[in-house]
Structures are given as C-alpha cells and as structure tokens.
Structure 1
Amino acid sequence: MIYFLNYIPPHRNQVSDNLKRLYDFHLTVLKEQLQDIDYIGLTFDFWTSRRSVSFLCITGHWFDDKCAYFSKVIYFSSFHEGDTGFNISRSVKEKLESLGIYHKVVAITCDGGENLVSVCSQLDGSIKRIWCCTHRLHLVVINSLGFWNTENKIDNTPNNCLTTEITTTTTSSSNVISNNRQELMDTNQTSEAISATIVNVESIDDDEQKLDLIDDNWSIDIDTNVPTTNEVELIMDLLKKRRILATLSKKSSIVSNFIRTNQLLIKVNKTLNNDCKSRWNSTYILLDAFIDLKPVMMKLFNEKRTLSLSQVQLDKLAMIELNNQDWDFYPHYIMY
C-alpha cells in the first residue's frame, strides 16, 4: 500500500521530536498570552485512569484587555506522586509559578473531593475556592434517585431503628453480575474446555472490572443507603435489568450480533454501555439507548429461544425481560 501511494511514513523519533517542538512553541505562546492579563480563574480536575495512572488537569479562564473571553487548558500531565493535598498543591503552585500567574489567580473551581479541598486551602489565602455546581447537581440527581443504592431501607419497628436489608424476590444486580459472569458468555465447549475457560474468564473479568472503574472525585459522596420508597425500588429494579442486559450484550457474541443486525434494520445507532458512578449522565445514556432500541429488545426477548443460547443465558434473559409497566415507566423516568 505504501509503495503504491508513494508515501514513506516518518520515523517514530521524528514524530517525537516534532511533538516536543510543538509543545515548546505552544507553551511559549501561552506564557506570552498570560503575561498580558491581570486576573485569572482556574478549574481543577484530578482523577485516576483505568490503568491506575493519576492525572491532573488545570484549565485557565480569563478576559483580555478587549474583554474577549478565553478558556484554555494550561496544564495537563500524569501525576506519579501520592494524590495527597500536599503533593498536589506543591505541583500546582510550581506549575502556576512557572507560567507566571500564581499571583494572578483569584478563584479555583473544583469538586468537593477532600484532596482538592485541601489543595485550595494550602495555596495563597486570597484564592477563593468555588465548589463546582455540576458536581453538586450530580450528587443531587444520583442520591435522590438512588442509582447506586445497596437496597437498604428503614425498619419502622419500635425495637429497631437501624436499616435492614430488603428481602425481595429480585436478585441484587451486584450478585447477578458478579456471580458467575462467565455464564453470560457463549459456551459450546467440552467440560474440560469450559473449566479452562472459566479460569481465564474470571481473570479477564477482574481486569475488565478494573478497566471499567475510573476513580475520581465525582464518585465521592455517592449515597448508597437512600431510604427506599416504591419509586426508588422501581428505579433500582429497572437499572438492574438494564445493566445485566448491557453486560450480556458484551459477553455474548450471539446477543451482540442479534442487536447489531436489528439495529441496522431500524437505523438506530446506539450502543448499550453500562453506566458508572463517575459519569453522572451515563445512566441517562444507558436508558435512552434502551428506549430507542425498544423494538430490538422486544424482538430479542420474543425470539430468544430461536437463538443458539445456553440455558443459563436464556434464564438470564427471562429474568430481566421488561413488562408493559416497565416500558410505560421508562419515558417518565428519562424525563424525571
């Protein structure tokens, strides 16, 4: 292909050198631009990636002498020290001083994570910390709807005012998904091969669970013990079913191909991805995808026994099948 295109790709060292030159050029331009401002506000974000690598991002917000508004990322880097407030504040101060703007910072907007709160308290006393409104809204939505509830409710009996675990016929989503997750995968092997596969799948599942988990301050202060009402129970039941089906669509190539094929027929380009605590709109995206894929989901449930699925997979689909009440509640849930 390269021969016919008459193109010789650059060497990796050349690409690396060009990237370094670009970095130095844009850093110089940024410093010159920041020299002309009097005040600047910052937003912080600190998180740990799926590979357990910490990152710190600082965005600057300012007006120039012509009242034109600017918002730029002024620092983004991996963070290899302990993510304590002291270490982060020291790194932040060094970077701001190298840019010549430490004395110009008037306010820092960040979430309510303890480490970032500590960072702001250890910087100059004139710098005001503003708690991110989006983070507060995130907590209000997640906690009020009980998205990550552990299914505890208040026991109103006189002898016990503590929370007791709900005894419902619906199996906990954490148990359903974590217990024997390999059963969701397509299996048509011999018993010996299945035994070997189970070992491999369990190790893969551990890695996948780590990869799916992004640790950041957005998931701090999530309430997992929301007092259970009928509405919260209904929400939790719907979420458990959707999360299990989203997991099944990733584990089973048969289910995945069925959904993908029928998506093309109805011309809906949506993906079933599980939600997570640190992405406050991920639950909305999950449920919105299910609404748009309702014809596909109904067809999957109706035709599940015509597919080459194992009995375990069939039982899972039967358990999470939505009834008319569930489908009727979905649009109201999304709007809520």
Structure 2
Amino acid sequence: MASGISHHDGTDSDISNDEADEPVPRKKRRISNIHSYVDKISNTEYLCNICSKVIRCSVGSNGNVRRHLVNVHGLSELKLKNDEIESKNQFDPYRKAVLDEAAINCIITDSRPFGDFLKTGSVYTQDGMKKFLSTALPGYVGPHENTVRTTIKNLYSTKLSELQEELKQVHDVCLTADLWRRPKQNHYLCVTVHYLGRNYRNISKVLSFRRFHGRHLSTRIRRHLTRVVNRFELQSKIVAFVTDNGSDMRAATQRSKIFGIRLYCLCHGLNLTIKNGLHLWKDHKEQDTSTDSKGLQNNKENHKSNVVERDEASNDEFNVGEQLNDELVEDEEEEERELAFSSDEDEINFDMEEDNEEAPRDDTDIVSSDEEMDIDNIPIDDNSFHVNNIGDILQSCRKIINIINKSSILYELCQNLARPTIKGHLSIDMRIRWNTTCTMLSKLIEYQLVLTQLMDKLPGIKGVSQMQKKVLVKLQFSNEQWEVAKILNSALSLFSEASDMLSGSRYPSYAVAYLVIDSLRHYVRSITTNHIEQTIKHELNQTFDQYVNRPFGSPEHNLLL
C-alpha cells in the first residue's frame, strides 16, 4: 500500500507538482501613471490636482479617474489600448463641441432646419446628409434641434445685450422702417438703425423684425416703434426717420418728436416716378378677366378694408402728401391685382432668380389665353408716338419672352443662336421688383439679332404649334418699336443707376442724394430734338416733381445740402 503510494506519479492529483512544491510569487503591481495628476484620499476617492475635483470610483478601479483626466483635461496619453476600440463608436467630446458650434453657425447663416445635422432620428435630415456625415465624421451625431433652439436663444440674448451696449456709445442715429405685405396677406414691420462707427464706417443693424397682426392703425405702429426706441435708449439720438409715404407710416412717425425729421424713401419715389409716369403696366381693367373676376373682386374688397385701416392720418396735416398717398394706394392696388391674376407670366416671374435670369420651362408648347388675343401691331412713327404706346410695347415684350421661355424648343433654339456671344436668358419684369423692366429691356435689346433669326427660322421649326407661330409673328417688333424700346431703356438705365447709388450699404447714401436728384432733374428737363425721347422726358418731369422733388427750405431739402 505504501509502495503504491510512493510510486504514484502525481498526474492524477488536483494540484500540480509546481504549485504544490514551489508556488509562484505574485507580481508587484505597476503604479498607474494617473497618480501623477491625482492624490488618493481613500480607497474610493481621488483628488484631481488640476481642477481640485473629488472623483469617486470603486475599490481597485481607477476608470473614472482616467476618464476624467482624458475627457475633461485632454490627457490623451492616459488612454488605454482598449479605449481605442471603444473610440471607434465614441466621438471626441472636444471635437464634437467644435463641430456642434460650427453646425449651429451654419444653420443660422444659411437658415437651415434645426435638425439638419442630425445623422439619425431627424425628419429634416436627408439620406445624403446622413451618408456624408457617416463618411466624413464616423461616430459624429450633430446637435439636436432642441440644443440648436436653446443655443440660438442664448446667442440672441447675447447679441441683443452687445448691441444695446454698443448703441450707448453712439450719439446720433437714423432709423428706417418698412411695412409690407406678402401674397398670403401676412404683414411684416422691420426697423433698422444706421450710424457711423469707427473710422466713419457706415453700420446698419436690425432692431426689430416682427409680423404685424391686426389693423395697421398709425397709433399701433407708433406704439411699437416707441417700444423699440425705448428698448435701445435712442430717444434723444434720432436725427431722422426714413419710411415710405403710406399714410399710416407717415402719421406714426411725423407727430412724435422722438423720431426726428421724417424722410421719404427716395428709391420708392424714383420707382413711382417711372412706373406711373411712363405707364409701364397696363391697367388690368382693360383686359378680359372673366375666369378670375370673383377672386379679383374679393381681393379688391379685402384691400379696401386695408386701405381704410392705413388711412388714419389727419388730412389737415398732410396737404402736400395726400395726392402722393392716393397714388401709393393705387400702386398697392395694382400690386394686389397682379398677385390676383394667375397668368402664365406670373408663373415665370415667381421662378425668377435675384439676377432676373430665369430657368427654362418644360411645359408643353401651348399658348396662354392672353397670348391667343388678336394683337394688332400698330406702326409707330416719330411724330405719332404717345406715352401710352410704352405700355403696349412692354406688354408685347412680356408676351414674346413668355412664349419663348415656356417652349423648350424655342428656348433651346434661342440659346443656341445666342451662344457664345450673349450670356444669360430673357427675363420678364415684375411689378413689385424695382428696375426689372430696365433689365428686361436691356436683355431683349441684346437679343434683337437672335429674335430676328428666330423669326426667319420660325416657319420651319417643328414641334411649335401654329398658334404660337401666329402670335409670335404678330408680336414681332417693327423698327420704330425697337427705337422706342432702346430710348426707353436708356432713360430707365439712368434711374436704375440712381437707385443703385441710393441703395449703398457701405456709405451714407443720403449724402449723395442731392447730386443724384439734381442730375436726374437736369436730365428730365433737358430739351432734345427726338420726339419720342422728349415725350418720355416730359412725362418723367411731371411725376419727378410729384414724387421726388421737395420744396426749397423744407427739412428734407435742408438735409440734402
């Protein structure tokens, strides 16, 4: 029995010979490098030497301490190898904060949806943005829309406080206010302050931009403007207040002493000078509007109520401006009627870009009801020209451009004939966009040779209806009509350049107003031997005196000097 035990090799034992006979000593634990940055208070608490924060952790673990040093203090050398695997699914918080700030600035600058940079879980984010963020920044998730909303509110409060402090250092300011209506009958009121900064640099800042609810009584407008002025403590600093000549805006800013001298918008006056003086737009009352008569009548009734609301000013105070206001009301009614008409021209107008160039339409090659009208091309000679002929010529221009831009065949043919000499497209003017009639005429005159070639090729063009061809032939300009268009374009170009000079944002535009007005006055009063040009100047001179010229010695005139 004993011999059996002595010959046992030990392979069946639960303990190996090495472990039983010579146990291996435990290795000495390596001191973690995090102790260079923290002091151990107890088995579960460490004190950060950098920020003096007490960090809790479990016994025998310093993971919380390590994460604190890496994430809060950016000590990336303390990361473990295992952290590299986790980092593929986790984005660096420092980098994320920088990207979130850039994303929010992008949302503000480009007016993007608040959730546009969310990689997942956003109804706003498109698949293209998701794929781009996943490829460019793996693991990054953009700011939530609630985060964007909160950040924007904080930024607004900060910018508001900064602007208030900045305006406290300014001694003299000028305010501008504009009240306008969108096609959906939503009204907006914007107030802007203008002043000179360091090195006499012109600075403009928006003080208020609000949707205006309810009736546009002058008292309500004045009350809102007063709140804005008091909010920024500008009561004794306003030199002048620039508005349009609407009766409500005029009454709201003219009676109160805190608003300074009330000035009218010169660009608005120039626009009314050429629009009403030269009859650039034919009255829609002369057109057949049976299909839209009900909608137009309702639109007129709604507008009449708005006109009553805007006519709260006292007639005794505005002896000179009442005639001007009547013209403005008519101007607004024309804009309403233009929006009420659902014509093919309007469809193109609303697609027009800021540079007044519009993209081709892929509609079927048909002619609108307006274009089917029988058009008699009455010849115009130098002596029989009347200012009413301008509206007829411009109406023909719009119809020609409308037909070409709506037909893909005619459009492509015109572009092929124009390239590479002529760049850009034919564009239609808009009643509510200033100087677009000048742009339309300039481009049409540039296309004169192209249109002549188009008319020569018109009989053999396939895919264009006979009705379209018939209308284009009737609309074809005579030499006399081209002459009127060129003379008219020359006159409109001067007013367009004047509007550009008065619309400068980098210099006090009112400083050049006297020179601009004096130059235009000299032009409209000068005598020329051309009957067409002289007729145009005569009509412009009358409306120029009505809308632009101010009486000598008036506060407005004195500020020009």
Could you tell me which residue of structure 2 aligns to residue 331 of structure 1?
486
- Change beyond 3 A, Cα 1:283–1:211: closer
Shift of 1:296: 3.1
When Rg is computed on C-alpha atoms for both structures, the one with the higher figure is 2
- Change beyond 3 A, Cα 1:146–1:9: same
Q: Could you tell me how far apart the structure 2 residues matched to 1:148 and 1:105 are? A: 38
Could you tell me which residue of structure 2 aligns to residue 219 of structure 1?
none
Contact conserved, 2:349 with 2:429, CA < 8 A, in 1? no
Could you tell me which residue of structure 2 aligns to residue 50 of structure 1?
183
1:131 aligns with 2:285: no
Contact conserved, 2:174 with 2:195, CA < 8 A, in 1? yes
Shift of 1:261: 4.6
Of 290-299 and 38-47, deviating more is 290-299
Deviations 1:195-215 (A, max 9, x none): xxxxxxxx99379859969xx
Could you tell me which residue of structure 2 aligns to residue 187 of structure 1?
none
Q: Could you tell me how far apart the structure 2 residues matched to 1:179 and 1:304 are? A: 32
Could you tell me which residue of structure 2 aligns to residue 5 of structure 1?
136
Could you tell me which residue of structure 2 aligns to residue 76 of structure 1?
209
Could you tell me which residue of structure 2 aligns to residue 141 of structure 1?
274
Contact conserved, 1:58 with 1:74, CA < 8 A, in 2? yes
Q: Could you tell me how far apart the structure 2 residues matched to 1:262 and 1:10 are? A: 51
- Change beyond 3 A, Cα 1:300–1:114: farther
Q: Which of the residues 304, 320, 323 maps onto 2:458?
A: 304
1:288 aligns with 2:421: no
Deviations 1:65-110 (A, max 9, x none): 8755433332223223333322222222212212222342232111
Instruction: Please state which structure has a larger fraction of its residues in strand.
Output: 1
- Change beyond 3 A, Cα 1:251–1:270: closer
Q: Which of the residues 240, 253, 266 maps onto 2:395?
A: 240
1:140-159 maps to which residues of 2 (within 5 A)? Answer: 140-150=273-283
- Change beyond 3 A, Cα 1:65–1:294: closer
Shift of 1:145: 1.6
Could you tell me which residue of structure 1 aligns to residue 10 of structure 2?
none
Report the AA paired with residue 325 of structure 1.
E
Contact conserved, 1:86 with 1:122, CA < 8 A, in 2? no
Q: Could you tell me how far apart the structure 2 residues matched to 1:96 and 1:207 are? A: 45
Report the AA paired with residue 155 of structure 2.
L
Could you tell me which residue of structure 2 aligns to residue 117 of structure 1?
250
Q: Could you tell me how far apart the structure 2 residues matched to 1:323 and 1:39 are? A: 56
Name the count of aligned residue pairs: 277
Q: Could you tell me how far apart the structure 1 residues matched to 2:152 and 2:347 are? A: 31
State the Cα RMSD in Å.
Answer: 3.5
Q: Which of the residues 401, 405, 423 maps onto 1:268?
A: 423
Report the AA paired with residue 205 of structure 1.
S
Shift of 1:38: 2.3
Contact conserved, 1:44 with 1:109, CA < 8 A, in 2? yes
Contact conserved, 2:218 with 2:248, CA < 8 A, in 1? yes
Q: Could you tell me how far apart the structure 2 residues matched to 1:211 and 1:332 are? A: 26
TM-score (norm 2): 0.44
- Change beyond 3 A, Cα 1:205–1:263: farther
Q: Could you tell me how far apart the structure 1 residues matched to 2:458 and 2:142 are? A: 49
- Change beyond 3 A, Cα 1:55–1:247: farther
User: Sequence identity of aligned pairs in percent?
Assistant: 23
Q: Could you tell me how far apart the structure 2 residues matched to 1:100 and 1:26 are? A: 16
Report the AA paired with residue 158 of structure 2.
F
Shift of 1:284: 0.5
Contact conserved, 1:57 with 1:75, CA < 8 A, in 2? yes
1:91 aligns with 2:224: yes
Q: Could you tell me how far apart the structure 2 residues matched to 1:22 and 1:208 are? A: 43
TM-score (norm 1): 0.69
Could you tell me which residue of structure 1 aligns to residue 385 of structure 2?
230
Report the AA paired with residue 247 of structure 2.
E
Higher relative contact order (CA 8 A, sep 6+): 1
1:205 aligns with 2:342: yes
Aligned partner of residue 257 in structure 2, secondary structure: coil
1:15-34 maps to which residues of 2 (within 5 A)? Answer: 15-34=148-167
1:102 aligns with 2:239: no
Q: Could you tell me how far apart the structure 1 residues matched to 2:342 and 2:256 are? A: 42
- Change beyond 3 A, Cα 1:24–1:294: farther
Q: Which of the residues 407, 419, 432 maps onto 1:252?
A: 407
Q: Could you tell me how far apart the structure 2 residues matched to 1:264 and 1:126 are? A: 54
